[in-house]
Structure 1
Amino acid sequence: MQGSGLSSGHLFCFLSLMVFNLNDVCAEQIPRPPSNANEQLISDSRASVSLGELEVTEGGSAILPCDMSLPSLDDAIYLVVWFLEPNKKPIYTFDARGKPLSMGRRWSEVVSFGLRADFRFALHGQIPSKGHLIINGTTLSDEGIYRCRVDFKNSPARHFRVQLNVTVPPSEPKITDETGREVRSSKFGPLRERQWAVLQCHVTGGKPSPEVEWYSNGKRFASSTGLEMHNGLQLGLLNDQQIDYYPFLQQRTIVREIRIGPLNRSHQDARFTCKASNSVNNAPKTKTVALDIHLPPLKVDISRMETRFVAGEGSEIRCQTFGSRPAASISWCKDDVCLPDSSYKVFDDENGNVTTSLFRANFSKEDHGKPLTCRASNRLLQASAIEDSIRLDVQFAPMATLRLGPTFKADSIKEGDDVYFECAIQANPNVTRLVWKHEDRILVYNASAKIIMSNQSLVLRGLTRQRSGHYKCVGVNARGEGSSNLVLLTVRYTPVCRYPVTNIRGAERGEFLNLSCSVDALPRPLKYKWALNTTRGWKEISTGSSSSAGTIPLAILATSSNEEILRFRPELEADFGTLACWAYSDLGWQQDPCLFRFFPAGPPESLSNCSVLNQTADSIQVSCSPNDDGGLKQTFQLQAMDVMTGQPQLTLQSDTVAEFWLTDLEPGSTFMLYLYAVNVKGLSQPVVLPVSTLKEAAKRTVPPSTDPFSGRVAGAVAMGVGAGFLLLTTVVVVACLRCRRTRNDATMAMTSSTGLAGQSQYHQQIQLHSNGINHQSAKSRPVHTNGELVSEKPTESFTAHEDHGTAGFYPRTARTSAAPYVGSKGNCLKLPPDYVATMSGAPESCV
């Protein structure tokens, strides 16, 4: 048995070393306490007993002290015994009888401690000081009064008492809302402004009964209410009386409730901590939650760094808001129309407190003046939107709109009226210049021309038909220029002639002429009137009438919108004169009639621009320009006179062009060339051109230099011929006045004699000057660009360029002066009073 006990003792020592890490040497452990270890001295009055107190948390290690100091140096410790009162049997012993303390034997009561207990002490040499009973993994059953008895060799036993209190921590706090729903996260919410937040902290168990409190920002939150619950049943308000009955404490729950509110922005992220504590030696059990409040944005602001925008150019606008929880949503609206999300981007900062939106815009001119709004809102809160707006300042080129003055009707404006245009311009910046255009031609202020410009209006006074056309205004500013729409101004006017005067030559008796009375008019003409003024006076024209009735027989061939064609046939000499035509429209009669002047056929006009084109020793090329053919087909003749002999050398004729080649001439010869235009009525006045062949075989082409000597000769000859022709013309005029009735025959005879007389005069002049003409050298030749004319040039020129008659009638320049019956006042054809009295519908202005 003893051997078995020793073996058990060694095993216990080994286990003690493994579990409790003992530093001293284990003595052999006896299976039971020493026989004298039972309690027998407790009643001894001489025993020294002291009391201490020790607190340990359940599961921790309890270190129970024991005074092992020797009463005297010659004394020794035999035995240390531990009791758990009121039990009389030891629960742990240390036996050092008959051996050093380091070899003392340890024994532990298996039921109470087993391997959880150990005894340790400290030695100073061989003198012990304090010892400790160490109990690991304490439980609530280990709580009680422990007594240590130390037996000495010589001295009486010493007793030391220790009160061991085992503390049981409470459960972890559980935070719920007022409905009992547990708050598992670190955030409590979402909450809203102006509501109350209710938090409850639930703590179960704990010995002694724990204290449960709420703290905020490190300070105790005083406004709390305590409730007591047992097994889920509310027992009422918390009773501060301590209850030590542990089975009851295990099921006891303490609820501490706080109410926070009404909530505002300052409560956002406020932290509230529930603390449960029942021992100063242990850290309290805590749980913290932060309030999560949904808040609307505080402020929204559009960055105004860029205040002006340019139409068609990209721009960036920044909008920033803060104060919203969670982060705000930003939207953009233009003129109350919200823009798509793709047109802007939104950024949040790290804390989600500041939200920024970047709007990339490309504004147009139509956006100028419109409000641009940045709206921030918390989508989780109703009526939380706030906004900031700017009015867009978009710069663009002018936009112009032109219209006729509102008091005018576009279809009733006529000549003589005053009108004005209004140009409405939208521009940013304002226009610096306004330009008016008529058919793309710029108009300028001109009061004398009745063009007046004032502000954004154009006034045209005393309109004429030339003012008709398209008008527009052009505005100019720093961003460019803009043209308005085109406005058509149509000026209504009474009919006017397209060709006021038409001269017709070559008229023959009994032949028909188709005369076109062509007018411009708005509105179109409704009817026409014709009248003929002859040497016998005015005659009204009526279709189909005979000449014996005092009218001219003619017929209307066709009438179009702006033209009437008449078929006219002069039968008598008196039918040659002036024919007048008037058109009538809704605005009245035409003021100035269209005039047709008839002249009988006569000799052609003289040639012009005669010059030498080519000159050699034996040939000369001459060219002229033809003029009026006298109303008949004309041909051209050239007669060359030798200056030295005065004899004709040759005569050439051309049927088509006034151009001649003189060949087989003698070198160094001088000639006087006579050039004519010829028709059946006679010859034109000649153009005299002195020329010479070269002395050497050298060719000469145009343009040669003018020989001064030949020019003097030509001038002298022309002056002589002109004087003679003037004299002959005077004679012819006197003869015509006396023989008016036989005018045609006399005219033809006189024309022929005039041509011969003129030729004779030219020959006489050549004979007078032939001795004074020098021959031309090879390096120079005569140039006569304009041949000298015998007669004066006509005083009138024709204005029509089209054939107004049948064969034999040609519009040509009149050789006579203007008719005496054409007045100058108002350019109106003056009619005799007796004729006006018989003529119906005559224009009033022409009476």
Structure 2
Amino acid sequence: MKSLPQLFTNTRVYQATFLLMLPFYVLNSDIPLLQAVVDSQINLPCNISLPSEDDSISLVLWYKSGISAPIFSVDARYGPLENSKHFTSEFLGQRGYLDFNFESDLAFLIIKPVEDGDEGDYNCRVDFRWGRTLKSAVKIDVIVPPRSVLITNEKIELLYGTIGPYDEGSSLILRCIAKGGRPLPTVTWWRDSVEIDNSFQEADEQDVRNDYIIRELSREDLMAEITCQASNTNLTSPEAAAVIIDMNLKPVDVHVISTRRHFCADRQFGVECQTTGSRPPANITWWLGTQKLNAAVEIVKDGGNRTVSNLVFVPTSEDNGKYLSCRAENRKMPGISKTDGLTLNVHYAPILYIYLTPNQNPDKLYEGNNIHFECKFQSNPKIVKLEWQYQGSTLLTNSRTGIYVRNKSLVLQNVSREQSGTYRCLADNLEGRGESKGLEIKIKYAPVCKENQKAIYAVTVEELVEIYCEVEADPNDVTFTWTVNNTGYSREVLSFDSFGLKSVARYIPYDENDFGFVACKAHNVIGVQKEACIFTLLYVR
């Protein structure tokens, strides 16, 4: 009787002939779908995992739907796989080759470049020396990108590069036409990487069109790059065309700039006027009331976007209260102007700043200390009233409470923790009221008992009682001590635990004389608690 290897050897020729002639198809609705773009590369996976360690691959065959013979094969029946020959078909030619990845137990049929006719079902068959045949299937969907993208106006005139200039406020119609592509592409308009229109429609069987209408051009549209994209896949970058909008713009603003708060008669001063947004650059003229002034020098900056005019002027006493203005006009848009100006005497409300005197550290304000505040201010005209506030309420001198208001200074003597909060200074002049930003202070203090604690504990002789004590303190790093007091003696309680601002003592009365009062005290870096927390032990028979 012949062994299996002998039988395999005797039937090689017959098997090879049969396998090469008979295509294999996997009829499965769950076949993986791969997408590829024309002229790109695609890798078709094939499972080549060995059934056992002593087995090996004899034959790898690839088939495509609609083609009876294998489109690619590797024959390893007569020698090691690495020395075997690879056979490609007329269909693939030099576009296909097989790459083995034994670490992942996969072989990839690589097709490059992909052609339109590559679309369809593909099947891989792997024969082994001894094991059962492995079969894999995959489906390729070939995508044909659009041939071109064009931008035109409503008259079908081709637009590209920088277009215009268009007048601010006018309308603009841009039409995008994408030609070809399978499936038909999505045609969208983009501005600064943001999609602004996706209302495309099919123009005919081959073209897709999208019209983008700007009903009123604004200055934000100046030099804006508007891009039309056509895409039918995420596998490649979209086909695109872009235009840049050039425009004529009106002046957007005008500002008079002066380094002086007020102006003195018979003294020379300079004042500057700036205007932006005009395209082409604006022309600036100066006016004192209705009189035109000519002693100015004009400079165009920032590539024409900004025009600066500097005026040198000597006012007289008669000019007090007059309005000095500059006017910006676009020469190509006559009749449209922007104006700004100033009155030659400028007043403003007080500007105030509150601070602690330099010898005080805001992080080391302790209960019992004195605190000194100062208020700085700027004002034109002079201040007529200065006020201090705490938490929104006005402060007045009160020697009983240690509060002293001294115009620009505020002194708090022997402060308590209740005086923590926000302080500010306020001032009035003829222009109005100004106030400083609030200065918040936090006064640190020694421990005090927290209110509403359990104060009475009823226990019997030799009963363990746990007494809870809680304090308030800032900083909250405290140390506790406990004592028990009765008519006969007073001694320290040593059995207790502390955690943060809380402590619990454990105490056992052994006879009636051990009952009385238990006291809890704490201290921190500020000091020792003045009044202990007192707890009463009642004897229960």
| TM-score relative to the length of structure 1 | 0.34
| Matching residue within 165, 179, 190 for 1:190 | 165
Contact 1:78/1:95 (<8 A) preserved: yes
Alpha carbons 1:49, 1:158 under 8 Å: kept: no
- Which residue of 2 is the match for residue 377 of structure 1? 329
1:39 maps to which of 21, 26, 33: 21
- The whole-number CA distance in structure 1 between the counterparts of 2:139 and 2:41 is 15
Name the structure with the higher helix share: 1
Task: Work out whether residues 285 and 292 of structure 2, in 8 Å CA contact, stay in contact via their aligned partners in 1.
Answer: no
Alignment of 1:446-845 (within 5 A): none
Q: Deviations over 1:685-721 (max 9, x none)?
A: xxxxxxxxxxxxxxxxxxxxxxxxxxxxxxxxxxxxx
1:344 equivalenced with 2:320 (yes/no): no
Give the aligned partner of residue 212 of structure 1.
187
> Among 98, 108, 112, which residue is 2:78 paired with?
98
Q: How many Å separate the matches in 2 of 1:203 and 1:35?
A: 50
- Return the offset for 1:376: 1.0
Deviations 1:127-175 (A, max 9, x none): x922111111112132222222223334554432221222222245433
Cα distance, 1:267 vs. partner? 5.2
Aligned to 2:109: 133
Q: 1:121 aligns with which of 74, 77, 100?
A: 100
CA contact (8 A) 2:57 2:127 kept: yes
The Cα shift of 1:278 comes to 0.8
Asked whether the 8 Å contact 2:24–2:123 carries over to 1, the reply is no
Flag the structure with higher strand content. 2
RMSD across aligned positions (CA)? 4.2
Which residue pairs with 2:66 in the alignment? Answer: 86
Going from structure 1 to structure 2, the CA distance change for 1:154 and 1:309 (only over 3 Å counts) comes to same
Residue 260 (structure 1) aligns with? 214
SS of match in other structure, 2:336: coil
Q: Secondary structure at the match of 1:300?
A: strand
- Which AA in structure 2 matches 1:39? M
Are the counterparts in 2 of residues 212 and 274 from structure 1 also a CA contact under 8 Å? yes
Alignment CA distance shift 1:34-1:173 (3 Å): same
Name the CA distance, whole Å, in 1 between partners of 2:128 and 2:195.
56
Q: Does 1:280 align with 2:234?
A: yes
What is the distance in 2 between the residues matched to 1:48 and 1:392?
A: 89
Query: In 1, are the aligned partners of 2:64 and 2:120 still within 8 Å (CA)?
Result: yes
In the alignment, what sits opposite 1:318?
272
User: Gapped runs of 5+ residues in structure 1?
Assistant: 1-32, 230-234, 236-247, 394-847
Residue 315 to residue 267, structure 1, CA distance change in 2 (3 Å): same
Higher relative contact order (CA 8 A, sep 6+): 2
2:57 paired with 1:77: yes
Residue type matched to 1:330 in 2?
I
Aligned CA distance change for structure 1 residues 182 and 78 (closer, same or farther; 3 Å): same
The letter of the residue matching 2:20 is N
Q: How many residues align?
A: 328
Report how far residue 368 of structure 1 moved.
11
| Further displaced range: 282-291 or 166-175 | 282-291
Out of 355, 372, 375, the position equivalent to 2:307 is: 355
Superposed displacement of residue 294, structure 1: 3.1
Describe the superposition over 1:608-636 as per-residue Cα deviations: whole angstroms up to 9, x where unpaired. Answer: xxxxxxxxxxxxxxxxxxxxxxxxxxxxx
Match of 1:141, SS state, is: helix
- Please report how far the alpha carbon of residue 362 of structure 1 lies from its aligned counterpart in structure 2 after TM superposition: 7.9
Deviation at 1:96, TM superposition (A): 0.3
Q: Measure the CA separation in 2 of the matches of 1:39 and 1:363.
A: 107
- One-letter amino acid of the counterpart of residue 322, structure 1: T
Distance in 2 of aligned mates of 1:289 and 1:71: 61
The change in CA–CA distance for 1:192 and 1:80 in structure 2 (over 3 A counts) is same
Distance of 1:288 and 1:363 partners within structure 2: 55
Check 1:363–1:41 CA distance in 2 against 1; reply closer, same or farther (3 A cut). Answer: closer
CA contact (8 A) 1:327 1:348 kept: no
Q: Secondary structure at the match of 2:102?
A: strand
What letter matches 1:159 in structure 2? Answer: K
CA contact (8 A) 1:117 1:133 kept: yes
Give the partner amino acid of 1:253.
D
Q: Which has the larger radius of gyration?
A: 1
Query: 1:115 Cα shift?
Result: 2.4
Letter paired with 2:327: R
Aligned to 1:144: 120
C-alpha deviation, 1:86, in angstroms? 1.4
Distance apart, 1:106 and its partner CA: 0.8
Residue type at the aligned position of 1:120: D
